[in-house]
Amino acid sequence: MDFKLTEEQELLLESVDEVCERFGTEQYFKECDEKHVWPKEFTDALLENGFQSLGLDEQYGGTPVDTQTLMLVAERMCKNGVPIYIYGNLCALKDMTEYGSDEQKEQCFAEVAKGNPGFVLGFTEPGAGSDSSALASTYTRRDGKVYLNGSKSFMTNAVNSKYMLCVARNSEDDASLRENRSKFSMWWVPLRDDEGNLTPGISIEPLEKIGWNMGNTCELHMEEVELEEKDLVGTEGNGFMQAMVNFEVERLIACAQSLGAAECAFEDATHYATQRIQFGKPIGKNQLIQEHITEMYMKIENMRNWVYKTAWKIDNGEPVQIDSAVAKLYCGRAAFEVIDTALQVMGGIGYTKDCRISRLWRDQRVYRIGAGTDEIMIHIAGRAIQKLYQD
C-alpha cells in the first residue's frame, strides 16, 4: 500500500488550508460556539469552493473522488481546527443517490446546492439506540394515504433540514416479529414548507449537549404525519439494509475527523511545550512532558494507519467490516486520549475557552457513542474475527 499523496491530492489539501485560513479562524469558531450558531459563513465558503459536493457524482452536481481523498480532506479540515461535525456528512447522501426517486433526488440536491443538509436521517429512537431492531415508529395506510407515528432521537441538524429520511415499520406487523429487520421501510418526509413552517404532526425539540454547540441535535415527534405512496424510498421492507449501505464509510470518515482533531490538539500542545517556561526552562525539556508528546504522536500515527489502510481497502473493493469497526473503536478512544493529554500539557490554560483544545475535548467525546458505540464496534468485530477462525 502506497499512501504517498498525488499531486492532485496535495493541491486539494492546499485549497483546504487556504479556505480554513481565510474563513475558519479560531476566533470565528469560538464566537459561533459561544452563541450556539451554525458557522454559515464558513460552510458557504466550502460550498463556493466545491468541498460540499466532493465525492458526489457529476450528475448530482458533485466532483467524484476516491474514499482515500475524501478521508484526507476530512482529516485536514479538522487538523485546521474545523469542528468535527461541520464537514463530512455528504457521504450519507448515498442513501438517496442509490434509492431515491427522481423527484426525491431533485428535492434533496436542491438543498445541498444551497449549502443546507440534504436531509436528516430519522433512525435512532428513544427506545432504539444500539438495538436498531427495536425501532417502534410505524407507518399505516389509510384511505389512500400513509401516516407516520413515533419519535426519533439525537437527530443532527434537524432544525436546519427541510427533509427527513425516516425508517419505520408497518403498523400491521405481528408484534412477535419485532426483530425481523425486513419489516422496516424508508420514507421521504418533508419537515417544513418553503416558508419554514413545520409539517402538520411534526414537532422538534433541540437537546442541550456538552459539546457540538454550533450544531443542533434534536428529538423529533410524529403524530399522524400524512404522506403519499410516492414518498416511499427504495423498496418496501428493505429500509434497514438501505440505511446500512454506507455505514462503513460514515464510520471511517468519523475516524478521519477524529484523527484531524487529535493532530490539531497535538500540534497546539507541542508548540506550547517548546515555549512555556517553568523552573527556568521550556516544559518540553521535562521527561514527563516528553512522554506525553511521544505517546500522543504514537497514537496519531496508529490512527492514521487505520484510516488510510481501511480507505485503501474500500477503494480496492476489499471487505472492511472488521477494519471499519476496529478503526472506529480505536480512533474514537485514541483521539480523545490525545486531546485529553494535550489539555494536560497546556495546564490551566487548556481548560479555558480561550484555548481551542477545550472545544476539541468537549466535541470529541461523543465519537465513542455516535456512529456506533465502542461496545457495538467490539460486538461487530468480535463476531467477524471469530468467523475467520471457524473450521
Does 342 fall in a domain?
A: yes
Give percent helix, percent strand, percent coil of the chain, each to the nearest 5: 55, 15, 30
- What single-letter amino acid sits at 19? V
Contacts of residue 224, defined as CB under 8 A and 6 or more positions apart, other chains included, come to 147, 148, 149, 201
Question: Which stretches in the chain have pLDDT values below 50?
Answer: none
Does 195 fall in a domain?
A: yes
CATH of the domain at 151: 2.40.110.10
HSE-up of residue 337 (Cα within 13 Å, Cβ side):
17
Does 325 fall in a domain?
A: yes
Q: In DSSP terms, which residues pair with 247 in a beta bridge? A: none
Contacts of residue 79, defined as CB under 8 A and 6 or more positions apart, other chains included, come to 260, 261, 263, 264, 267
- 171 DSSP 8-state letter: T
Give the containing element (helix H, strand E) for 45: helix 40-48
The helix/strand count (H/E) of the chain reads as: 12, 10
Nearest by Cα to 165 from 201, 146, 189? 189
Q: Is 198 in the same domain as 273?
A: no
Q: What is the pTM of this model?
A: 0.93
pLDDT at 134: 78
Does 111 fall in a domain?
A: no
**For the chain, first and last CA: distance in Å?**
30
Nearest by Cα to 239 from 186, 200, 201? 186
Q: Say which residue the cell 474500500 belongs to.
A: 314
- Longest CA–CA span in the chain (Å) reads 81
Residue where a domain terminates, one of 214, 237, 260: 237
Q: Is 289 in the same domain as 375?
A: yes
Residue where a domain terminates, one of 210, 237, 264: 237
Q: How many domains does one find in the chain?
A: 3
- What single-letter amino acid sits at 375? E
Q: What are phi and psi of 79, to 5 degrees?
A: -65, -30
Contacts of residue 212, defined as CB under 8 A and 6 or more positions apart, other chains included, come to 83, 85, 156, 363, 366
| Angstrom distance (rounded) from CA 97 to CA 57 | 9
Q: Is 259 in the same domain as 231?
A: no
Q: Is 82 in the same domain as 153?
A: no
Residue where a domain terminates, one of 97, 131, 148: 97
Give residue-wise pLDDT tens across range 357-368.
Answer: 999 999 999 999
pLDDT at 180: 58
Q: Is 324 in the same domain as 372?
A: yes
Does 283 fall in a domain?
A: yes
pLDDT at 211: 95
Give the containing element (helix H, strand E) for 9: helix 7-23
Q: Judge contact between 117 and 131, C-beta under 8 A.
A: no
40: helix, coil or strand? helix
Provide the angle, in degrees to the nearest 10, between the axes of the packed helices 67-79 and 287-315. Answer: 150
179: helix, coil or strand? coil
Give residue-wise pLDDT tens across range 343-389.
Answer: 999 999 999 999 999 999 999 999 999 888 999 999 999 999 999 99
Q: Is 136 in the same domain as 216?
A: yes
CATH of the domain at 270: 1.20.140.10
